[in-house]
A and B are shown apart, each in its own frame.
Chain A
Amino acid sequence: MSGGLTVLYADDEPDIREVASIALELDGGINLTAVGSGQEAIEALERPGYRPDVIMLDVMMPGMDGPAALAEIRRRPMLADIPVVFITARAQAHEQARFLELGAVGVITKPFDPLALAGELRAIVTRAGA
């Protein structure tokens, strides 16, 4: 996919959230909404008319973490089919497998190369057939 992509991204780490945001902005075709928690991601998804093409969730966040946010999303019929990508630091192989079992379509590992992030996300979305 090389066209426009609407992305909702939740990460509690402001430094990483900003790096990812400016990296995705570089892509030119990504319309990004970045929030600081799983709860804020759910609130963004409840805004009338807002439906991202893909949701990118940090796994380890205080309060509602990535897996809990994914479960919340899957409980909402209008949102359940939106692909979710987890982003996490050094997930071990068994953890990555667990994330996919939970319903994520892909896992992006931190640290990421800011210049490659948009391409990595697009590749996952394309593979997922979204």
Chain B
Amino acid sequence: MSAAFDERLQALKQRFLARSAGDLQVIARALADPASVGRDDLRQVVHRLAGAAGTFGYAELSRIAGEADDALVLNQADVGAELTQLVEALKDALP
């Protein structure tokens, strides 16, 4: 990997983390008051995390977001537990 590539990837990773801080707020709000966040909006946030986190080196966060994404798609009863786990994983990942 070239130094230039690495540098650009690091800059994008910082931007991803900044956006993820906002995602954390959205998911926490959805957990506290499910009616306050639209289902599609919530899935968009969770799906984005599932896709992006691993690319930026957060494999576990990506895995947990993927499971929450699946739970949302399948409308599983335990989606709250999956989202709670995702909130904790986000807190661990964020600086």
Contact = CB atoms under 8 A, between A and B. Distances in A.
Interface of A: 13, 15-16, 18-19, 22, 26, 60, 62, 88-90, 92, 110-115
7 contacts: A18-B8, A89-B47, A110-B52, A111-B52, A111-B53, A111-B56, A115-B1
Nearest 5 interchain pairs by C-beta: A111-B54, A89-B51, A110-B51, A90-B66, A111-B55
A62 B51 contact: no
B51 A90 contact: yes
Interface residues of B, number: 24
Interface string B33-46: 00000000000100
A64 B12 CA distance: 26
A16 B47 CA distance: 12
Interface of B: 1-2, 5, 8-9, 12, 15-16, 19, 44, 47-48, 50-56, 59, 62, 66, 69-70
B30 to A, nearest CB: 18
Given A110-B55, A111-B62, A89 B69 contact: yes
A18 to B, nearest CB: 6
Contacts of B53: 111
A114 B12 CA distance: 12
